[in-house]
Structure formats: C-alpha cells, structure tokens
C-alpha cells in the first residue's frame, strides 16, 4: 500500500486493531481484550507474531483463539521474523492498523521485553496508537477512571478526543485532564534569588497560563455524559503524571506520542515518556495523531 495515505488519517475511529502476539501465560487474556475491543468498535482484527513459525505455535494459537472467542477463520494471523519493532511497524502500516495492543503480566519477564524496549521503539515511530495492558482481563479491562495528559501541544486535542471516544464506547464516566507544571529555572530562582516572592509570582503566572491553555482545549472536546475534571500538578514531566495516575488508581493513562525521534539531549537526560515506560502505573494508551 501507499504508506503516505496514513499521514493525516485521524487517530479514531479504531477501524483496524492489531494484536502483538507473545506466547506468554497471559495470551488468552490479551486475545480476550482484543475480542471485546473489536466488538465494541466494530473493528477488524489482525494478529501479529514476530518470531519463529512452528506447528506447535500455530496449534497453540488456534486453540487459544478459540478459547478467547476468536475462532473466526477470517481473522488474519501474520507471522514475521526479525527485529520485533521493525516487523510490527511494517505490518501495522501494511494493514492500516489504527490501534496496536500489547500486553503481558507485570511479573513476567515478557513485560520488560514487550512493554519496555519494544514499546519504546514503537512509541517513537509507530503511525498508529498503542494500548499497553499491564493486567489484561479475559472479559476486558475497565477503563472507567481515565487520566489524560493535558500538555500544551498541537496533538493534545486529538489525544483528548480519542480518550473521550474510547471512554464513551466502553462506558467510561470519569476523565481527568492533568497539566504538569515543571519550571526548573523558576524553581532555582525561588531557591537562590533574594526576591523569592517575585520569582514565585512569575511561577504562579506560568502555571496559570499553562492551565488556561489546557482548559481551552478541554472546551473543544464533546464529552457528552463523561465528566471531565482538570488538575494541575507540579513536578518533572512524565514522572509527576505517572505518580498521579498510580496514587489515584487510574484505569488508563492517555498520552501523546513523542513529537519525534529522541535526540541527543533525550539520551543524556531521562525523557518524560521514559519515566512512565520504566514503571507503568496502569494500562496506557499512547495516541498517535498522525499529523506528521
């Protein structure tokens, strides 16, 4: 296919859902999640396994699909070999996947593999959104309490609307848009400058400006019956929202995809996304708005 047609394609509706198949003890749970999401969104499924194709694996996958309610022979299974990130990216592009599901149990070694290095690579280069499931459920996870990053970015409105779309279809009723305020330069001024009161005033102004911009984006959403609240938190980007989602027992954390491939500065200092991927607080949706 002409991959250029992906540019500008909206992140939702989810018309095609891909599933990264890992032969872990939680495979049935991941397929159960995929079955529920496909039925809810009216999407077609594409199952993708990167690794050796053997008769034993094929038999196990067919059996597990049947147990999970996916015994439809029309569901394609794509078998690829090579680098997991590259093969998954290629297959998602070729099948115009809108949402790719990855999942593994927290205590499994596969978690670090699939929700670690593979997720990092996919988040930087995927042309579709990613759903990372920390504790997949055969009957489908509850996404009733959703936390969305309200970072000031042109992509954020698309991320908010995607979160609203998902919540509305899955019966969600509560969404919190969180603005992270991290001004290390002003914090240093407060600590070192004798005019700390003035510095604090500027810090408050900056925080208010960020919150106002986020509020304006929230106003552009059409949440329907979903209640959206807004929250400003202080701390390092990525780390602060991870802590907030964990402490507030969120079911789903929703973020923008990274703006571009990480540069030298991101390899030296921890990037916001890295704080979250190294220790997922809950299920996470990374929305790719396909603006570029």
Question: How many CB atoms are located within 10 Å of the residue 272 CB?
Answer: 21
Provide the residue ranges of all domains of the chain, joining segments of one domain with +: 3-133, 145-279
Query: Distance between CA 78 and CA 76 in Å, rounded?
Result: 6
State the pLDDT confidence band at 268, using cuts at 50, 70 and 90.
very low
Q: What is the pLDDT of residues 101-137, one digit of tens each?
A: 998 555 455 555 555 678 788 888 888 999 999 889 9
Q: What is the pLDDT of residue 69?
A: 95
Say how far residue 73 (Cα) sits from the centre of its chain.
29
Span 73-95, average pLDDT: 95
* Domain covering 3-133 assigned CATH 3.60.40.10 in the classification: no
Q: Is the pLDDT of residue 211 over 80?
A: yes
Evaluate whether 216 touches 250 at the Cβ level (below 8 Å). Answer: no
Collect all residues with Cβ–Cβ distance below 8 Å to 204 and sequence separation of at least 6.
none
For the chain, percent of residues with pLDDT exceeding 70: 80
Average pLDDT over residues 84-108: 86
pLDDT tens, residue by residue, 227-256: 999 999 999 888 999 999 999 999 999 999
What is the CATH T-level fold of the domain 145-279, as seen in this structure?
A: Rossmann fold (3.40.50)
Examine domains 3-133 and 145-279 and report if their fold is the same: yes
Whole-number pLDDT of residue 131: 96
Is a pLDDT exceeding 80 seen at residue 213? yes
For position 68, what pLDDT does the model report? 96
249: left (phi over 0), alpha (psi -120 to 50) or beta: left
Mean pLDDT of the chain: 84
Q: Considering the entire predicted model, what is its pTM? A: 0.86
Supply the pLDDT for residue 126: 87
């Amino acid at each position: 296919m002409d991959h250029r047609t992906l540019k500008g394609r909206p992140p939702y509706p989810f018309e095609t859902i891909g599933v990264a198949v890992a032969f872990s003890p939680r495979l049935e749970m991941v397929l159960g999640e995929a079955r529920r999401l496909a039925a809810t969104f009216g999407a077609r499924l594409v199952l993708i396994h990167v690794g050796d194709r053997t008769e034993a694996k094929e038999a196990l996958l067919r059996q597990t699909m049947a147990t999970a309610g996916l015994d439809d022979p029309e569901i394609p299974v794509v078998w690829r070999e090579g680098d997991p990130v590259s093969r998954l990216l290629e297959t998602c592009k070729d099948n115009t996947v809108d949402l790719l599901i990855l999942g593994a149990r927290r205590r499994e070694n596969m978690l670090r593999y699939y929700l670690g290095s593979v997720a990092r690579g996919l988040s930087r280069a995927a042309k579709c959104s990613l759903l990372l499931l920390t504790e997949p459920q055969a009957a489908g996870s509850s996404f009733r309490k959703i936390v969305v990053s309200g970072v000031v970015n042109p992509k954020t409105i698309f991320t908010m609307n995607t979160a609203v779309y998902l919540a509305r279809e899955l019966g969600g009723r509560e969404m919190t848009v969180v603005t992270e305020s991290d001004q290390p330069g002003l914090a240093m001024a407060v600590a070192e400058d004798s005019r700390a009161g003035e510095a604090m005033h500027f810090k408050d102004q900056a925080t208010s400006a960020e919150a106002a911009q986020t509020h304006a984006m929230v106003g552009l959403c059409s949440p329907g019956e979903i209640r959206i609240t807004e929250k400003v938190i202080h701390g390092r980007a990525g780390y602060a929202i991870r802590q907030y989602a964990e402490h507030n027992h969120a079911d789903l954390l929703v973020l923008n995809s990274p703006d571009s491939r990480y540069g030298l500065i991101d390899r030296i200092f921890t990037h916001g996304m890295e704080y979250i991927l190294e220790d997922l607080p809950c299920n996470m949706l990374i929305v790719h708005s396909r603006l570029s």
